[in-house]
Structure 1
Amino acid sequence: MIEARSPAWWRSTLALCLGSLLVFINLYAPQPLLPELRVSYGVSTLAISLVMSVATLAVAASLLVFGPLSDAIGRSGIMRSTLLAAGLLSVGLALAPNYETLLVLRAVQGFVLGGLPAVAIAWMGDEFEKPALLSAVGLYIGANTLGGIGGRIVGGAVAELAGTSASFATVGGLTLVGLVLFWKLLPPARAFTPRAFELRGALTDLAGHLRHPLLLPAYLLGGLNFLIFINQYSYITFRLAEAPYDLGTRLLGLIFITYLGGTLGSAFSGRLAGRLSQPTCMALGIAIFVTGTAVTLSDSLVWILAGLTINAFGFFLAHSMASSWVGRQAERARGSASALYLVFYYLGASLGGLWLEPFWQRGGWFGVALGSWLVLAMTMSIAFWLQGKERGRRAPCRQG
């Protein structure tokens, strides 16, 4: 098993962080382009949001395939092949002749983008000692945030200079170059034990995870939090593209620098977990998320950006804790357990537009904030419930 901070740990963690970076660059590069694409295609805010929603929905669906499949055939090949396909599909998006084709290609791309997230944490669970796993997961999720930032900044900046097609082509080229580095860095798996793939067995594992009293609440918490977080960014682009802000695609891409708050939140999570229980950390992250949403109600662009940064810190703190909680609580089939967490996570992202659109139409950004708080109240309740369950498990140990 790989020990924390060893050369093998650094090499493996760097490879998986790079892979994560590439996945999220591809997934989120179109987001700052939504206002421009809406005008180009003459569709509604809800319709153009499907460019993001179909991709995240396809990611969720793919996790049900790649997670169980990785338990049978291994994780490394899945990560490499799906990254290659994602890069080629980004190049294909640059050539899409119409809106319908764009949506189909985004759905296919979303499916292959699920390959690495479905198995990366399971790969770590196989190869890393437990202390090494917690630190690596925090850095890995921090790379998610950097990928989200990089994709949106590159997507927005290139689109403003050369158009949306050039933006997609640039992201595709960067992905293929990064894949070469990923391929060389990722060491061979040594602790993986394959299991013969059986559909009935895979379904039994998934059902067992859903019945697990400490896993299903974490799945719901992660999915509902992401439902709000990622879709807030979609609606904030519509808000800031209009008067009095009138931001172009390049500047809309730059607002995603606020994701750096999430990078800090993810990195901080490993240290905080040594002092507080994981459910307590989840609740703290959600409370910070609630506060940041309130800050975004300001009319000042500076305060809006500050609020988004606070949101990112809180969201990724809670997400890091919830995802590592799943890795630790799963009693078997870690690949499918981690994949199922991400199924809920991306399913939430794909449904967020449907939830927030009525609030946006009736109340603008204040409506979006209200819709956000309603969901965050639910996830806070889940975190407190998990906290109670964990205390209940510890009490008998102390008495013994």
Structure 2
Amino acid sequence: MIEAHSRAWWRATLALCLGSFTVFINLYAPQPLLPELRQVFGISTLAAGLVMSVSTLTLALALLVFGTLSDAIGRRGIMLVTLVLTTLCSLGLVLAPNYHTLLLLRAVQGFVLGGLPAVAIAWMGDEFDRRGLMLAVGLYISANTLGGIGGRVMGGFAADLGGWQASFATVGVVSVVCVALFWKLLPASRHFEPKPFRLAAALGSITAHLRNPLLLGAYLIGGLNFLIFINQYSYITFRLSEAPYGLATQWLGMIFVTYLGGTLGASLSGRAAQQLSQPRCMMLGIAIFAVGTVLTLADSLVAIIVGLTVNAFGFFFTHSTASSWVGRQAKAARGSASALYLVFYYVGASLGGFYLEPFWQLAQWWGVALASWLVLAITLGLAGWLGIKERAAHAP
């Protein structure tokens, strides 16, 4: 097994972080473009949000396919091939003639984007020792946040200079470089043990994961928290593009620099989990997320940015801990276990707009905040419940 902080560990972790960065710059580049897309194509707020929702939905559907398939044929090849296809989709989006075609290409891209997230943590579980896994997951999730920042900032500035097409072109070129480095750095799997693919066995593994309360609780926490977190950013772009703020697309992209709070939160989660139980770490992250949402209610742009930064810290602190928890609790079929977590995660993201839209129409940002607290109260209770279940399991 690869030990934490060894040369092989750093090399593999860097490769997976680059792969993660590539996935998330492609997934999130359109988010600061939503007000522009609404204006250019003459569509509603909810319709503009579909450019994000459709890709997260197809990504969620792809995760079970790739996660289950990886248990049979291996993980490295799946990650590499899907990253290449992701890059080709971004370059193809530049040529989309209308919004319907744009949505179709985003749906295809969302599916191939699922390849790396579905199997990356399972790859770590196969190759890293326990400490190496916990530390690597934190860094990997940090790369998620950097990809989220990079895609949105690049997308915002490129769109300001050359329209929404320039956003996808820029992300596509950056992706070519990242994929080449990923292929060069990621070592071959040494501890992976393939299992013949059998549909009945695959469905049985998924069913077993869903019946495991220690996994199901984490799945719900990840999905419900992300339902709120990612869609808060979509609605904040509409809020800040209008009076009294009136921010242009490039500055809306800069709002996502607040994801750096998430980079810090994810990187600290592994260390915190060595001092506190993982359920307590999840509860702490959720509480921080709730406090950050309070700050976003202020009229001051500075206070809103601080609130979003706090939200990102709390969300990714929880997400990183929950991801690691799944990797530890899954005793078999780790690929499908990790993939199932992400299915909940991205289904939550795709449904968030439909959940928040009535609150937005009723009370604008105050409505979004209220809807957020309702969901966070549920996930806080779920994290506490996981702590009780864990203590009960260890009681004998």
TM superposition score normalised by structure 1: 0.99
Deviation for aligned residue 1:329 = 0.3
Confirm or deny that 1:30 pairs with 2:30: yes
| 2:162 alignment counterpart | 162
Distance 1:138 1:69 in 2: 25
Amino acid in structure 1 at the alignment position of 2:299? D
Q: Partner amino acid for 2:137?
A: V
Structure 1: any 5+ residue segments left out of the alignment? none
Instruction: Say whether 1:51 aligns with 2:51.
Output: yes
Please tell me the residue identity of whatever aligns with 1:167.
S
The match for 1:77 is: 77
Residue 316 (structure 1) aligns with = 316
CA shift at 1:393, angstroms?
Answer: 2.3
Extract structure 1 runs of 4+ deviating beyond 2 A: 393-396
Which residue in 2 is equivalent to 1:134?
Answer: 134
Question: Whole-Å Cα distance in 1 between the matches of residues 390 and 335 of structure 2?
Answer: 23
Give SS of 1:214's match: helix
Q: Post-superposition shift, 1:394?
A: 2.8
Corresponding position of 2:21: 21
AA at the equivalent of 2:6 = S
Bigger shift: residues 145-154 or 381-390: 381-390
TM-aligned CA deviation for residue 293 of structure 1: 0.2
Q: For 1:391 and 1:64, locate their aligned partners in 2 and report how far apart those are by CA, in whole Å.
A: 30
Note the alpha carbon deviations across 1:85-125, whole angstroms, 9 max, x for none.
Answer: 00000011110000000000000000000000000000000
Superposition pairs for residues 1-16 of structure 1, below 5 Å?
1-16=1-16
Percentage identity across paired residues of the two chains:
71
CA distance in 2, matches of 1:205, 1:392: 24
Q: Does 1:144 align with 2:180?
A: no
Residue of structure 1 equivalent to 2:226: 226
Letter in 1 for 2:339: A
SS in 1 for 2:213: coil
Q: Does 1:198 align with 2:202?
A: no
Counterpart CA distance in 1 for 2:38 and 2:187 is: 43
SS in structure 1 at match of 2:207: helix
Question: What CA distance in whole angstroms lies between the structure 2 residues aligned with 1:382 and 1:71?
Answer: 29
Q: CA deviation at 1:213?
A: 1.4
Alignment deviations for residues 2-42 of structure 1 (CA, whole Å, 9 cap, x no partner): 00000000000000000000000000000000000000111
Aligned AA for 1:42? Answer: G
Letter in 2 for 1:386: L
Matched, 1:341 2:341: yes
1:189-217 CA distances to partner (integer Å, 9 max, x unpaired)? 10000000111111110011000111011
- 2:238 aligned residue: 238
Q: Give the root-mean-square deviation of aligned CA atoms.
A: 0.5
Q: How far apart, CA to CA, are the structure 1 residues paired with 2:164 and 2:390?
A: 49
In structure 2, C-alpha distance between the alignment counterparts of 1:25 and 1:77, rounded to whole Å: 21
SS of aligned partner of 2:214: coil
The CA deviation string for residues 327-366 of structure 1, in whole angstroms up to 9 with x for no partner, is 0000100000000000000000000000000000000000
Alpha-carbon distance in 1 for matches of 2:4, 2:240: 43
1:278 corresponds to 2:284: no
What's the CA shift string for 1:26-85, capped at 9, x where partnerless? 000000000000001111100110000000001100001000000000000000000000
AA partner of residue 185 (structure 2): L
Residues 117-149 of structure 1: CA deviation (Å, up to 9, x unaligned): 000000000000011000000000000000000
SS at match of 1:234: helix
The amino acid across from 2:166 in the alignment is A
Matched to 2:164, the amino acid is T
Letter in 2 for 1:178: C
Query: Which residue of the partner structure matches residue 254 of structure 1?
Result: 254
User: How far, CA to CA, are the matches of 2:360 and 2:172 in structure 1?
Assistant: 33
Matched to 1:169, the amino acid is: A
Equivalences for 1:322-333 in 2 at 5 Å? Answer: 322-333=322-333
Partner residue in 2 for 1:100: 100
Q: SS of 2:218's equivalent?
A: helix
Which whole-Å CA distance do the structure 2 matches of 1:339 and 1:264 have between them? 24
CA distance in 2, matches of 1:364, 1:379: 23
**Residue 395 (structure 1) shift:** 2.7
Alignment match, 2:153: 153
Q: What count of residue pairs does the alignment treat as equivalent?
A: 396
Q: Deviations over 1:223-250 (max 9, x none)?
A: 0000000000000000000000000110
Which residue is 2:381 aligned to?
381
Query: Helix, strand or coil: the match of 2:395?
Result: helix
Distance 2:244 2:136 in 1: 43
Q: CA deviation at 1:170?
A: 1.1
CA distance in 2, matches of 1:143, 1:328: 21
Q: List alignment gaps of at least 5 residues for structure 2.
A: none
1:358 corresponding residue in structure 2:
358
**165-174 or 11-20: bigger deviation:** 165-174
